[in-house]
Amino acid sequence: MHLRIDGCDVSLDLPAGSTFGAVLAEAGRKVASDGRVVSRIVADGREISTRFEREMADRPADRIDTVDITTTTPDALFREALDGAVDLSLAIRRDTVTILSSLRAGDLAAAGPRYATCVESLGTFFHLAGAVFNAIGTGVFPLAVRPGSAGELPSPPLATAGILQRLLRTQKGNDWNAVADILEREILPNIDGWSAFFKALKEIGAE
């Protein structure tokens, strides 16, 4: 397997028969030793998502021809994640309001396709939100906060995963009035809370 990090050829000291996951783990340690983080992985021309990375972890590395890893600084990745989270939260909010309007009007045909896309986006967003929050808590994303100042770290919304699970359970029961209620009374406030949380983090980072 040919490995490149930021365009430079890299040779890792790994035993024969190592898995793709082992290669990425060792590459990650090498990147971290330089004070950087992995921002993008491309294997044989295909960008690897977090989920696909897990699925490929046990694949023998010698079955992959080329892996290109792009790195960045923790601060730059943090800003990129915040920008993406804010943009996604606003897009989800717009879609949710449109879906609500269709459901309240009894137009399931109009609401259905957009709803399916919205649920997928919600799953992505809540995963991203949790990852960013956990990264702050563990120090992966350093955040300079002065206690008692305007830049004090805000609290994120609670019960996010439970809300999404209730939405999916209600949908399976085809109770679309109840789905609309959850969207309006729980999903929208939760999304608004996360959006405010991420915007506050961006303001703290700009101080």
Of 72, 101, 130, the domain-final residue:
72
> Which helix (H) or strand (E) covers residue 47, if one does?
strand 46-47
Here the CATH number for the domain that contains residue 67 is 3.10.20
CB-based burial label for 122 (10 Å; 0-12, 13-18, 19+): buried
Q: Which pLDDT value is given to residue 149?
A: 45
**Same domain flag for 121 and 190:** yes
Q: What is the mean pLDDT of each run of 10 residues along the chain (207 residues)?
A: 92 86 91 90 87 82 92 87 90 95 94 92 86 76 53 68 89 93 94 89 67
H and E: helices and strands count for the chain: 7, 5
Structural domain total, the chain? 2
**Same domain flag for 58 and 139:** no
**Same domain flag for 26 and 128:** no
**Same domain flag for 18 and 98:** no
Of 48, 72, 96, the domain-final residue:
72
CB-based burial label for 23 (10 Å; 0-12, 13-18, 19+): buried
**Same domain flag for 42 and 97:** no
**Same domain flag for 112 and 189:** yes
**Same domain flag for 93 and 174:** yes
Q: Which pLDDT value is given to residue 152?
A: 57
Q: Which pLDDT value is given to residue 78?
A: 84
**Same domain flag for 111 and 68:** no
Of 42, 72, 102, the domain-final residue:
72
**Same domain flag for 182 and 156:** yes
Q: What's the domain range around 138?
A: 75-206
**Same domain flag for 24 and 84:** no
Contact 193, 157 (CB under 8 A): yes
**Same domain flag for 81 and 45:** no
**Same domain flag for 192 and 166:** yes
Q: Which pLDDT value is given to residue 158?
A: 72
